[in-house]
């Protein structure tokens, strides 16, 4: 390389280099907290949380507030045909694929003020920092607010081409079908193909989010580096006994499906806790028939859910639970059968390179961090199908989420946004090459 070319290259990369080295560039906790509070006014309920379900008037009002924030930060917002809000900031090299980051603002009924919101407000904060520091990235940047995350990851699934007509006809909490809801947001359910991004079109996607669990809070750790989003498998488990009079049937002449069910529930817990790893197994629903206090249950139907980052691990957990069930069935003379329910949630590992970038960004900011799985679903799990994807967790106080008591401190939110800021610059600087 000639001396002249070397000088020119140095001048081109100098602003980025300085930005990466400037420890004074950090997210503003007070500004983020004020914006979280302002957003929470849209759909506020008497319990201190929000009822901002997707497609509702509150959701539409909250989206308008976010669009105004985007415009104030220098972004050019638009709504794609799936109802996703995309705030774009052009880069210096127009032919480069965009870096996407964001989350969602819709809530569950009776939800909290931080789930999804932190990722959106944090993404806008990153843009504010870039503008204030006069940093122009090479890649275009897109802040995305996905539609209807809580109702089925609608916006992100549309972006990766996984929405069909059956999905569009599903009734949402708003009282509209998903198709009608998309239209209410300014999208067009008849042209969802226009919202689709193909593999290679996006340089990377990063989602900042509250943990929704207690690990970071209990261990006093600043940042969670998400290793992946767990897969989910569901079964309906039927235990067959024999219904009979509860008063006239001796204890030694019973084929009590409920007793077998009780042993089965304990076995599920024992299997999941006895194996190394972070797998979870849950019985969350149980129904006994005929359901009378004076009748021995002749049938029990219960749910079984297993989650883990590894599909193989989930199968191993299920195999051990099934083996334990067979022993119970034989000892109690109560046959057990399984019906697997399709939930279409495969494990979604994050990109290993992005994990390192996020961890290094946290280290450079003096923030403690640990690698961990996400036990909840996120838009990131869909984006991982088409682009390198990473997630940044910040603490949830007491592990509470989907509740008005959900809380993350202003400083923790700012820490997450600062890590996101540095990660975006690293990606823009070629860290994924």
Token digits for 122?
A: 């944090």
**pLDDT, tens digit, 9 for 90 and up, residues 245-289:** 999 999 999 999 999 999 999 999 999 999 999 999 999 999 999
Q: Is the pTM of this model over 0.75?
A: yes
Q: How much of the chain, in percent, has pLDDT values that exceed 90?
A: 90
Is the pLDDT assigned to residue 397 strictly greater than 70? Answer: yes
Tell me how crowded residue 182 is: count the other CB atoms within 10 A of its CB.
32
pLDDT band at 344 (very low <50, low <70, confident <90, very high): low
**pLDDT, tens digit, 9 for 90 and up, residues 192-243:** 999 999 999 999 999 999 999 999 999 999 999 999 999 999 999 999 999 9
Token digits for 118?
A: 């932190």
pLDDT band at 116 (very low <50, low <70, confident <90, very high): very high
Is the pLDDT assigned to residue 3 strictly greater than 90? Answer: no
- Predicted local confidence at residue 23, as pLDDT: 56
Tell me how crowded residue 352 is: count the other CB atoms within 10 A of its CB.
11
Burial classification of residue 273, based on how many CB atoms lie within 10 Å of its CB (0-12 exposed, 13-18 middle, 19 or more buried): exposed
Q: Which helix (H) or strand (E) holds 58?
A: helix 57-72
Cα first-last separation, the chain = 21
pLDDT band at 345 (very low <50, low <70, confident <90, very high): confident
Mean pLDDT of 114-130: 98
- How far is Cα 346 from Cα 232, in angstroms, rounded to an integer? 6
Q: How much of the chain, in percent, has pLDDT values that exceed 70?
A: 94
Is the pLDDT assigned to residue 9 strictly greater than 90? Answer: no
Instruction: In the chain, count H helices and then E strands.
Output: 13, 16
Is the pLDDT assigned to residue 2 strictly greater than 60? Answer: no
The residue with greater pLDDT, 331 or 342, is 331
Mean pLDDT of 398-418: 97
- How far is Cα 305 from Cα 261, in angstroms, rounded to an integer? 15
Residues, the chain, total?
Answer: 433
Domains of the chain (ranges; CATH) run 21-229+347-428 (3.40.630.10), 231-345 (3.30.70.360)
Average pLDDT, the chain: 93
Mean pLDDT of 345-369: 96
Is the pLDDT assigned to residue 12 strictly greater than 60? Answer: no
**pLDDT, tens digit, 9 for 90 and up, residues 29-71:** 999 999 999 999 999 999 999 999 999 999 999 999 999 999 9
């Amino acid at each position: 390389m000639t001396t002249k070319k070397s000088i020119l290259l140095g001048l081109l990369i100098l602003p980025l280099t300085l930005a990466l080295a400037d420890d004074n560039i950090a997210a503003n906790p007070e500004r983020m907290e004020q914006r979280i509070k302002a957003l929470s006014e849209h759909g506020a309920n008497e319990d201190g949380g929000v009822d901002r379900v997707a497609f509702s008037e509150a959701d539409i009002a909250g989206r308008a507030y976010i669009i105004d924030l985007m415009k104030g930060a220098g972004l050019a917002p638009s709504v794609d045909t799936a109802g996703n809000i995309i705030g774009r900031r052009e880069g210096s090299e127009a032919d480069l694929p965009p870096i996407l980051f964001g989350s969602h603002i819709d809530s569950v009924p009776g939800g909290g003020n931080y789930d999804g919101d932190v990722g959106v407000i944090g993404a806008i904060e990153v843009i504010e920092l870039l503008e204030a520091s006069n940093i122009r990235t090479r890649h275009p940047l897109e802040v995305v607010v996905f539609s209807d995350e809580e109702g089925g990851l609608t916006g992100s699934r549309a972006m990766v081409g996984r929405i069909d007509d059956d999905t569009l006809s599903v009734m949402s909490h708003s009282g509209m079908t998903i198709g009608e809801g998309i239209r209410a947001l300014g999208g067009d359910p008849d042209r969802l193909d226009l919202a689709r991004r193909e593999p290679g079109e996006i340089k990377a996607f990063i989602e900042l989010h509250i943990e929704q669990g207690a690990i970071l809070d209990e261990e006093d750790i600043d940042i969670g580096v998400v290793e992946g989003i767990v897969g989910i498998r569901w079964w309906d488990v039927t235990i067959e006994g024999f219904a009979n009079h509860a008063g006239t049937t001796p204890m030694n002449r019973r084929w009590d499906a409920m007793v077998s069910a009780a042993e089965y529930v304990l076995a599920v817990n024992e299997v999941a806790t006895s194996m190394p790893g972070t797998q979870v197994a849950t019985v969350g629903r149980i129904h006994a028939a005929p359901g009378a206090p004076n009748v021995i249950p002749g049938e029990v139907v219960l749910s079984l859910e297993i989650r883990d980052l590894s599909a193989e691990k989930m199968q191993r957990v299920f195999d051990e639970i099934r083996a334990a069930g067979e022993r119970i069935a034989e000892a109690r003379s109560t046959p057990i059968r399984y019906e697997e329910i399709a939930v279409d949630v495969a494990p979604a590992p994050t990109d290993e390179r992005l994990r390192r970038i996020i961890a290094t960004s946290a280290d450079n900011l003096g923030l403690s961090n640990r690698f961990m799985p996400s036990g909840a679903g996120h838009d990131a799990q869909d984006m991982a199908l088409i682009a390198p994807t990473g997630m940044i967790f910040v603490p949830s106080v007491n592990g509470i989420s989907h509740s008005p008591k959900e809380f993350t401190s202003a400083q923790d939110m700012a820490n997450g946004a600062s890590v996101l800021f540095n990660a975006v610059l690293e990606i823009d600087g070629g860290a994924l090459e």
